[in-house]
């Protein structure tokens, strides 16, 4: 069952982001991708490690460049770097 809103599933409005991690061949660091489902606008950030706390910090910093009115939802997979996602809040 998906908790994703209908607007995100239908790609009918801007502001619904999806995130994924691309892990380095040595499995030390990662590259995080954030893509708006409607527009395809993407952001990419490097991470020194794949810990949940690092992911949260990088995500909060990355999304500071987007006005809050354009951020509605954020969906990620069930990888270990996303396990503590709910504990972070945008400041």
Contact assessment for residue 16 and residue 8, using Cβ atoms and an 8 Å cutoff? yes
Question: What's the CA gap between 54 and 45, in Å, rounded?
Answer: 11
The pLDDT tens digits for 10-66 are 999 999 999 988 887 777 788 999 999 999 999 999 998 888 888 889 999 999 999
Domains of the chain: 6-79 (3.30.420.10)
Band the pLDDT of 88: cuts 50, 70, 90: very low
The pLDDT of residue 77: 66
Give the DSSP H/E element, type plus range, for residue 47.
strand 42-47
Contact assessment for residue 34 and residue 59, using Cβ atoms and an 8 Å cutoff? yes
């Amino acid at each position: 069952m998906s908790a994703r809103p209908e607007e995100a599933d239908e790609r009918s409005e801007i502001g619904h982001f999806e995130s994924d991690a691309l892990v380095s061949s040595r499995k030390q660091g990662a590259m995080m991708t954030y893509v708006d489902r409607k527009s395809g606008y993407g952001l990419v950030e490097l991470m020194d490690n794949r810990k949940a706390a690092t992911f949260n910090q990088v995500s909060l910093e990355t999304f500071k460049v987007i006005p809050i009115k354009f951020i509605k939802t954020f969906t990620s997979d069930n990888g270990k770097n996303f396990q503590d996602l709910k504990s972070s809040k945008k400041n």
